[in-house]
């Protein structure tokens, strides 16, 4: 008999759809690990900006990615031995993260890290290509969406929490541009997996969305026993 497939809950979706809040809630409810792959691309972008590496320089970014160590602890992402802070949610990172994430060699390096982390046990993984590329065999796949207006409101609150000023209309335009960039890139475009459950989070509380995904996961684990 084949060994059981590890419980991997893949949560994908565009910026501001609620992935991080929901993924944390699902992981907490089920008592399993949480992997925020978007934070990995953000952290690499922040590191590149701090070192003066141009976000369009594919070769330099690939080298930087290969030389960067990332792990997830209980309190979040640890890069090169140090926990990351709110700087990865700042305006400049928001502006450039899609450009950095579009480079194929950067994605290859970070996907390899993500797969190593996911091999360690049950996990809720969130990102843009978890169900399509990183773990296409995940037993539970969810694609979160929300209206552009609601997503801009969420990102506005997120940026203001870092202490930076934020203009709601500018953020809405940035989200629209990022959607276009992420969904049309050649490597791992942002698209729902064919077998993903689509969940529109517009007007829903995080608790409602978390409960829906937890119920999916429990049905899968009960079926596989």
What architecture (CATH level 2) is domain 8-223? 3-Layer(aba) Sandwich (3.40)
CA 124/CA 33 separation, integer angstroms: 6
How do the domains of the chain map onto residue ranges? 8-223
How much is the pLDDT for 103? 95
How much is the pLDDT for 89? 86
Encoding tokens for residue 220?
């899968």
pLDDT digit string, tens, across residues 21-77: 999 999 999 999 999 999 999 999 999 999 999 999 999 999 999 999 999 887 789
How much is the pLDDT for 3? 43
- pTM of the predicted model over 0.85: yes
- Ranges of the chain whose pLDDT falls below 50: 1-4
């Amino acid at each position: 008999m084949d060994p059981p497939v590890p419980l991997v809950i893949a949560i994908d979706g565009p910026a501001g759809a609620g992935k991080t809040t929901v993924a944390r809630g699902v992981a907490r409810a089920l008592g399993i690990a949480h992997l925020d792959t978007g934070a990995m691309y953000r952290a690499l972008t922040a590191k590149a900006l701090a070192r003066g590496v141009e976000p369009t320089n594919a070769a330099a970014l690939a080298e930087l990615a290969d030389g960067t160590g990332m792990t997830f602890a209980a309190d979040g992402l640890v890069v090169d031995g140090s926990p990351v802070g709110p700087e990865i949610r700042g305006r400049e990172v928001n502006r450039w993260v899609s450009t950095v994430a579009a480079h194929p060699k950067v994605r290859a390096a970070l996907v390899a890290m993500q797969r190593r982390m996911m091999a360690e046990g049950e996990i809720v993984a969130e990102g843009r290509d978890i169900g399509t590329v990183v773990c296409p065999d995940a037993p539970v796949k969810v694609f979160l969406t929300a209206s552009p207006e609601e997503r801009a409101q969420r990102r506005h609150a997120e940026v203001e929490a870092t202490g930076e000023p934020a203009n709601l209309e500018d953020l809405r335009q940035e989200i629209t541009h990022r959607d276009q960039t992420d969904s049309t890139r050649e490597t791992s475009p942002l698209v729902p997996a064919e077998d993903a459950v689509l969940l529109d989070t517009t007007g829903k509380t995080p608790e409602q969305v978390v409960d829906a995904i937890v119920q999916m996961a429990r049905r899968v684990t009960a079926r596989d026993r």
